[in-house]
Amino acid sequence: MIAKINNFEIDLSKPIDISIPLTNTDENPIAWYIEKPVIEPVVFGDWIGKVSEGKSSTNFNNIFFNPHGHGTHTECLGHITNDFYSINQSLKQFFFFAKLITVEPERIGDDFVITQEQVSALVNNKIEALIIRTLPNQKEKKSRKYSNTNPPYLSEEAAIFIRESEIQHLLIDLPSVDKEHDEGKLLAHKAFWNVKDTVNLNSDARLNATITEMIYVSDEIEDGDYILNLQIASFENDASPSKPILYKI
């Protein structure tokens, strides 16, 4: 099925999923010092919400997870502000003109950093969303345990460049755009959302901009321009598990 979005034609029958599914197995990626998700049937006395147990005609599970630590998720500036802001209220459009770029973070001291120079060299046209794939791009990203590993991150200068390029949606295959242990500075988050004061929010903060973390973009997917369909669940929370889908133009 061919659709026209923003004057671009895409084939809706050929989606490219760059999300990581959430499971209750050891294959689930984990960040931020928490345990794996829990997916388990509801139990009421002798009744178990699982068909294979012979106690129910339906499967009826509770799911306990953290969107920031358990897989692909999309967040709004409510992630870092004193006042509550919801991703469900911030993200109201879902199709965007996007560019996928691949970057090998530079070693700076003990860190690996995505720099402004790297990003600006690859972003040279007007886009609404930027997708960053980092090298090396092992499939282990889909199950990696990130806690206390000091993953690569985005420099403040790179985040400022992305904001000043009027890119509204940033997607990255890392657990955070910021350094794991940064004393709570959150420089890249603040720079991208243009948040100068997390308690008394400045009037020019970017309320409708989003960051999506912990995606996985396989090597078979070529760098270039795409239409992005950014899907979230309707959580009234600062973040939601999400399913970003790319379409070739």
What lies within 8 Å, CB to CB, of 22 at 6+ separation is 28, 37, 65, 70, 71, 241
For residue 83, how many C-alpha atoms fall within 13 Å in the half-sphere facing its CB? 9
Q: Which residue ranges form the domains of the chain, and what is each CATH number?
A: 2-21+67-248 (3.50.30.50)
Q: Give residue 7's pLDDT.
A: 80
Which tens digit of pLDDT belongs to each residue from 108-156?
999 999 999 999 999 988 999 999 999 999 999 999 999 999 999 999 9
- With cut-offs at 50, 70 and 90, classify the pLDDT of residue 63: very high
Q: How confident is the model over 91-98, as a mean pLDDT?
A: 97
Q: How confident is the model over 61-81, as a mean pLDDT?
A: 98
Q: Give residue 140's pLDDT.
A: 97
Q: How confident is the model over 239-248, as a mean pLDDT?
A: 98
Instruction: Say whether pLDDT at 8 is over 90.
Output: no
What lies within 8 Å, CB to CB, of 244 at 6+ separation is 17, 18, 19, 72, 74, 131, 171, 212, 215, 228, 229, 230, 231
Q: Give residue 5's pLDDT.
A: 77
Q: Give residue 95's pLDDT.
A: 96
Which tens digit of pLDDT belongs to each residue from 181-197?
999 999 999 999 999 99
Q: Give residue 37's pLDDT.
A: 98
* Of 5 and 232, the one with more pLDDT: 232
What lies within 8 Å, CB to CB, of 220 at 6+ separation is none
